[in-house]
Amino acid sequence: MQLSGSRKRLRGASIVCALVGVAGSCGAADARPYTVVSCDAALGGPSAAEAWTPSTSIPGSSYAVCPSTGGDNTGVSDRIPRATGAGLSYSAHTFSAPPGTRITGLRWAGRIARGNCTWGAWLAALPSGTPLLGVKPNLGCAVSGLDLRTASIPVTIPAGTTRLQQMIACGAAAGCQPGATFHTTASVVTIDDPTLPTVSASGALVSGRWVRGEQAVTVSGQDNTGVARTWVTVGSQTRSTPWACRYTSPQPCANHAGPLSVGTLGITSGQYRVSVGAQDAAGNIRTVAYDARIDNEPPGRVRPSVDLGQAWRRSNRFTIRWQKPPQTHAPIVRAWYRLCGPQGCETGQVSGSTETLANLTVNGSGAHSLEIWLEDAAGNQSFVLGASDPVFLRLDQEPPSLAFEPQSETDPLRVAVRASDSHSGVDTGEIEIRKRDGNTWHALAAAREGSALVAYVDDERFRSGAYEFRARVRDHAGNEASTDRRTTGARATIDLPARFATGLVVGRRKLHRHGKRRRVRLLRHSRARYGSRISLHGRLSNPDGQPLDAATIQVSSDSPGDAVGLVPVGVARTDRQGRFTYIARATRNRVLRFRYSGSRRIRSATADFTMSVPAVSSLRARPRRLRNGQSVRLSGRVRTRPLPASGKLIEVQAYFRGRFRTFSTTRADSTGRWRFVYRFGGTRGRVPYRLRAFIPAEGGYPFTTGRSPVARVIVSG
């Protein structure tokens, strides 16, 4: 048998929400009916009889057989078949609506029968006790039964009904003769539920925190009829869960608390209202609103910098700083870093709204790369998208290793220190020498040659004897190491001189005769006329007098008073006999230094030649003949220049009493010109005079004492 409307129909509801504070609620204002079906009442098939609860004083008389298939004694049954019923005995089934609900309707199908009037078989509404179907004991004795198994009838239910009870009962204290029967083959009970469900939610999305990505929201629904559906709505996105309900039970649905997964990746970052709802078995709806903060955008990249720079250092403490990028939504709560070095990579974090990673240590010496990225309060962080360009933390706590190389036989003055550093590399170094058992160390000029620090001992600077070395090397991190040992473990020493000695002589040739013998000497000092050219001769040989041929002799010039010092002016080359010639021009007083720089095996040699150039001036006397009382005009020009800035002193001399004597002075101007006027006043007779200009040597004037030609004048008294 099929009865229309035997299954529950859920109807839509207009939701009016009043949002107050963080969360609010809304729900349907009117009661919602639902139906509970039993036995043959289900559309399309049978239903259980679980809604009707049996109770009896007659064992075996209260039972349910569903579906009934139209049988006489099937359905939700209370029956006294044959035996005599004890006095006031009964058998019943009761339908109880959930607390807070009311039964408002019933469609019923079944069979009622009794054998005598002392039995009652009826359906009553409780708590009012109003009979709805059948008869009570000892009443309506003309009625023996009712059979409506083929069609259902509507039954009017009085207001306030919360239970339905079908019953058979014996109305005689002494007992009743058989029998009585109440069989319900189909029932459709309508229940009105005016109570809204309660709903709450938990999870990060509804906690007010910033969230990202897929979020689990646990929705908890409670209702007297149970919860049929729960859901979460964010923006235009709704996720819901329908729960299984059995409308063969007065409480069709259970109460549920379960998670719903809400995806936020398609939602624009910002603040939203999240609606959480529950619907009960009757279709009543309640929703609650929560504040939600969504941010799916990772923070921007940073540009870290290292305090004190990225150079090598010895201290294993690094501080890295950066500026936080602008953040529109979720604030920065954490900084991540990835530190990679020779031992591998490690990842760490520092919590808080920070812009500093202080006192970071690295795992051992070497160059380490550091990348930083940020995480916001929503959990957005990405190494791939947000990691900074790497900065480098370079640590070197290991000193360089060094040792003197063995002394070279082909280059004995070369001092080489083999130095290496496995991390920061060798930066600077020093090599020092001192006389053995001495107290004073002398620095040697050292330079890098590949992996070696190389210096050369100046055997012209240091006296003969035994010397020892020491070396200090620093790497780029400032680690320093020193040694005085060779690679063999022996002390680094040298004995000077380490090269073969040489002899160098140079000078101006002068022939000396001793009787028939002639000997040529080389003068190391010579006077030369201004502007003349002189030939200087020299010879280079070893201590045994053997010539050194094809050797280059460097020639430098140093003039007294010249602040420049030695200036290279030329070179000479020795012939097969070790001899050489150099032509020098007499332009001023000067020292010509001839130097053979030597070789790796042969010592250098130096010889000086001093050239003196007398000052020169012209002289003119006008008139050449004059009488006593007249004046002579002497004039001239100093040819040897440069002149002092203040001019050059000139002494005017006359020859008398057996020699030239100075009788007056004058001064040449910056061009060298000078003049002097002298008046004769004491001459008697005809007297010839010899006059000249004397040019004395003085500081800053690069010429020796000189004189002009002699001028003769005749004075008549």
pLDDT per position as a tens digit, 635-688: 999 999 899 888 999 999 999 989 999 999 999 998 999 999 999 988 889 999
**446-449 sheet: strands from edge to edge:** 401-404, 414-420, 452-456, 446-449
My answer on whether 36 and 166 are in the same domain is yes
Checking if the pLDDT of 84 tops 80, the result is no
Report the amino acid identity of residue 461: R
Per-residue confidence at 185, pLDDT binned at 50, 70, 90? very high
Least trusted range by pLDDT, from 15-19, 127-131, 191-195: 15-19
My answer on whether 484 and 513 are in the same domain is no
Distance of CA 595 to the CA centre of its chain: 60
Per-residue confidence at 44, pLDDT binned at 50, 70, 90? low
Question: Does residue 299 fall inside a structural domain?
Answer: no
Look over the chain and give the mean of its residue pLDDT values, rounded to a whole number. Answer: 90
Checking if the pLDDT of 81 tops 90, the result is no
Is the pTM higher than 0.75? The answer reads no
My answer on whether 535 and 606 are in the same domain is yes
CATH number of the CATH domain containing 430:
2.60.40.1220
| Nearest of 618, 635, 711 to residue 676 by alpha carbon | 635
Question: Does residue 145 fall inside a structural domain?
Answer: yes
Per-residue confidence at 16, pLDDT binned at 50, 70, 90? very low
My answer on whether 159 and 56 are in the same domain is yes
My answer on whether 229 and 284 are in the same domain is yes
Check if the beta carbon of residue 577 is closer than 8 Å to that of residue 564. no
Q: Given this model, what pLDDT does residue 714 score? A: 95
CATH number of the CATH domain containing 323:
2.60.40.10
CATH number of the CATH domain containing 127:
2.60.120
My answer on whether 530 and 655 are in the same domain is no
* Tens digit of each residue's pLDDT (9 = 90 or more) over 143-177: 888 999 988 899 999 999 999 999 999 998 888 88
My answer on whether 230 and 288 are in the same domain is yes
Cα(first)–Cα(last) distance of the chain, in Å? 186
Distance of CA 448 to the CA centre of its chain: 34
My answer on whether 409 and 469 are in the same domain is yes
| Residue 635 to residue 231: CA distance in whole angstroms | 127
Q: Which of 372, 395, 418 is the last residue of a domain?
A: 395
Q: Given this model, what pLDDT does residue 3 score? A: 33
Q: Given this model, what pLDDT does residue 85 score? A: 64
Checking if the pLDDT of 97 tops 50, the result is yes
User: What is the mean pLDDT of the segment spanning 170-192?
Assistant: 91
**Number of residues assigned to the chain:** 717
Whole-number percent of the chain with pLDDT over 90: 75
Structural domain of 535? 503-612
Checking if the pLDDT of 369 tops 70, the result is yes
Q: What is the dihedral of CA 384, 386, 388, 389, to 10 degrees?
A: 40
Q: Given this model, what pLDDT does residue 357 score? A: 95
| Residue 45 to residue 54: CA distance in whole angstroms | 23
User: What is the mean pLDDT of the segment spanning 222-228?
Assistant: 96
Beta-strand relationship, 210-211 and 285-294:
parallel
The 3-state DSSP class for residue 323 equals coil
User: What is the mean pLDDT of the segment spanning 365-382?
Assistant: 94
Tokens of 96: 């109880």
Tokens of 674: 């000078």
* Burial class of 418 by CB neighbour count within 10 A (0 to 12, 13 to 18, 19+): middle
Q: Given this model, what pLDDT does residue 224 score? A: 95
My answer on whether 664 and 548 are in the same domain is no
| Residue 712 to residue 689: CA distance in whole angstroms | 6
Q: Which of 433, 466, 496 is the last residue of a domain?
A: 496
Q: What are phi and psi of 572, to 5 degrees?
A: -135, 160
Question: Does residue 458 fall inside a structural domain?
Answer: yes
Checking if the pLDDT of 26 tops 70, the result is no
Question: Does residue 411 fall inside a structural domain?
Answer: yes
Least trusted range by pLDDT, from 22-26, 408-412, 660-664: 22-26
My answer on whether 544 and 661 are in the same domain is no
**673-679 sheet: strands from edge to edge:** 620-622, 631-637, 673-679
User: What is the mean pLDDT of the segment spanning 139-145?
Assistant: 88
Least trusted range by pLDDT, from 81-85, 435-439, 564-568: 81-85
| Residue 695 to residue 702: CA distance in whole angstroms | 12
Start-end of H helices in 438-573: none
* Tens digit of each residue's pLDDT (9 = 90 or more) over 417-460: 999 999 999 999 999 999 998 999 999 999 999 989 999 998 88
Q: Given this model, what pLDDT does residue 30 score? A: 55
CATH number of the CATH domain containing 595:
2.60.40.1930
Beta-strand relationship, 198-202 and 145-147:
unpaired
Question: Does residue 597 fall inside a structural domain?
Answer: yes
Structural domain count of the chain: 6
Question: Does residue 56 fall inside a structural domain?
Answer: yes
CATH number of the CATH domain containing 285:
2.60.40.150
* Tens digit of each residue's pLDDT (9 = 90 or more) over 102-127: 999 999 999 999 988 999 999 999 99
| Residue 112 to residue 496: CA distance in whole angstroms | 142
Q: Which of 395, 414, 434 is the last residue of a domain?
A: 395
Question: Does residue 12 fall inside a structural domain?
Answer: no
Q: Given this model, what pLDDT does residue 29 score? A: 40
Question: Does residue 111 fall inside a structural domain?
Answer: yes
Q: Given this model, what pLDDT does residue 194 score? A: 94
Checking if the pLDDT of 24 tops 50, the result is no
My answer on whether 41 and 188 are in the same domain is yes
Per-residue confidence at 620, pLDDT binned at 50, 70, 90? very high
My answer on whether 389 and 406 are in the same domain is no
Checking if the pLDDT of 15 tops 70, the result is no
